[in-house]
Amino acid sequence: MVQVPETTLRAIAEQLDRPVEGDPETAICGVASIVSAGPGDLVFARASNYLEALSPGAAAAVIAPDGVDVGDRAALRSDQPELDFASALEWMTRAWRPAPGVDPDATVAPDAELDPSVHVGPRAVIGAGAVIGAGTVLHAGSVVCAGARVGRDCIVHPTAVIREGAEVGDRVWIHASAVIGNEGYGYTFDTNGRPRKIPQVGRVVLEDDVEIGAGTTVQRGSLDATRIGRNAKIGDLCVIGHNSVVGEDVMMIGHTAIAGSVTIERGAIIMGQVAIGGHLTIGAGALIGARSGIHKDVRPQARVYGSPAMEERAWHRSTAAVSRLPELFRRVRDLERRTDGGDGEPES
């Protein structure tokens, strides 16, 4: 279980606008999965069979759909129990944010603009002309460089860096060691054929409600802006190349790498360890399977897998065919030996 500030089921129900079944004054002091729940915990269940793992006396209350038997426990009835559990957890843990104020070990430029409700942790650095919105938390060792703007109610975790001129919207989470606005990989060649750097002078824009995973880098545009759309969720250790545009509600799992000038349209899902070549478009609502290599545009709503990637049905056929290759080779060698008098041995 995880302890949370004690509250009542009534208070949670009011936040979620859900009906209470049982005692509304039931005390809630923790949250847990069904298998680890103890007294005083809130859990959720999608169906009755999920509750079979609850030990006697475990869980003070359950968020569950109508008709799910919760025994003698109190319940909040919901047709979206997991979503409501997430909302309840977010509300109950709001007090975990540190108090406003600037730590004495932080460095803040004299002309930086900080709302009085901002928290700045030890050894954090805020550069000249930076603007930090109300309720934002900058944890220890985080850096907001000159001219960057960070909106309201953001969380910037330890050692994350927001580079010069970057623009971060409201309610954005940037996890540890992420870098927003580092220079992109842009080079040309001189007359001797040696690579020469092209200065990357654009910026990065993170719209409202974006989340950036730990260790992820979002490269600044070479001349324009790299943009991450509203409510996009980027996993850990991803690389987003310069001038790319990631649309609203896109989900990108960890270890994905996107080359420059890629457009990912709204609601696409990019699974782990995907590589996407430059100047391509991933259509709205597309799904790209894990470890796929994308070398051409992907149409909206497509489901593609593999490297090189192909649409799902073709990928299943190809995978099935590959699994049959050893047997096919053996049969061909046997056939050659019988018809041509070859002396080759059958494949094992």
65 and 177, same domain (yes or no): no
Instruction: Report whether 249 contacts 228 (CB < 8 A).
Output: no
For residues 277 and 173, state if they share a domain.
Answer: yes
Looking at the structure, tell me whether residues 90 and 133 fall in a common domain: no
Contact between 320 and 301 under an 8 Å Cβ cutoff? The reply is no
Q: Are 281 and 265 in contact (CB under 8 A)?
A: yes
Q: Based on the structure, what is the number of domains in the chain? A: 2
**What's the pLDDT tens digit per position in 119-144?**
999 999 999 999 999 999 999 999 99
Q: What percent of the chain has pLDDT over 70?
A: 97
Distance of CA 51 to CAs 3, 31, 43, 62, Å? 21, 15, 10, 9
- Report yes or no on 152 lying in a domain: yes
Q: Token digits for 5? A: 């500030």
Amino acid symbol at 123: R
Q: Are residues 164 and 246 in the same domain?
A: yes
Would 9 be classed as within a structural domain?
yes
- Tens digits of residue pLDDT in 75-105: 999 999 999 999 999 999 876 789 999 999 9
- pLDDT score, position 341: 60
Considering the domain architecture, whether residues 90 and 189 belong to the same structural domain is answered as no
154 and 257 assigned to the same domain: yes
Does residue 325 form part of some domain?
A: no
Per-residue pLDDT reduced to its tens digit, 190-233: 999 999 999 999 999 999 999 999 999 999 999 999 999 999 99
- Strand 245-246 relative to strand 263-264, pairing: parallel
Please state, in angstroms and rounded to a whole number, the distance separating the CA atoms of residues 285 and 16. 29
**193 and 283 housed in the same domain:** yes
Residues 92 and 124 in one domain: no
Tell me if 28 is assigned to some domain.
Answer: yes
- Mean pLDDT, the chain, rounded, equals 94
Domain that holds residue 303: 115-310
The domain spanning residue 265 has which CATH number?
2.160.10.10
Mean pLDDT of 40-64: 91
What percentage of the chain has pLDDT greater than the value 90? 83
Domain assignment present for 101: no
| Region 233-259 average pLDDT | 98
189, part of any domain: yes
Q: Tell whether 211 and 295 lie within a shared domain.
A: yes
Asked if residue 108 belongs to a domain, the reply is no
Do residues 27 and 70 share a domain? yes
Co-location of 152 and 277 in the same domain: yes
Distance separating alpha carbons of residues 238 and 231, to the nearest angstrom: 17
pTM for the model stands at: 0.88
Does any domain span residue 258?
A: yes
Please say if the pLDDT value at position 147 is more than 70.
yes
- Mean per-residue pLDDT, 244-272: 98
Average pLDDT estimate for 158-180: 98
Residue 148 has pLDDT above 90, yes or no: yes
Among 242, 255, 279, 295, the active-site one is 242
CATH number of the domain at 77, please: 3.40.1390.10
Annotation marks residue 242 as catalytic: yes
Are 80 and 120 within one domain? no
pLDDT reported for residue 78: 96
> In the prediction, which pLDDT does 343 show?
55
**SS3 of the chain:** CEEEEEEEHHHHHHHHCCCEECCCCCEEEEECCHHHCCCCEEEECCCHHHHHHCCCCCCCEEEECCCCCCCCCEEEECCCHHHHHHHHHHHHCHHHCCCCEECCCCEECCCCEECCCCEECCCCEECCCCEECCCCEECCCCEECCCCEECCCCEECCCCEECCCCEECCCCEECCCCEEEECCCCEEECCCCCEEECCCCCEEEECCCCEECCCCEEECCCCCEEEECCCCEECCCCEECCCCEECCCCEECCCCEECCCCEECCCCEECCCCEECCCCEECCCCEECCCCEECCCECCCCEEECCCCEEHHHHHHHHHHHHHHHHHHHHHHHHHHHHHCCCCCCCC
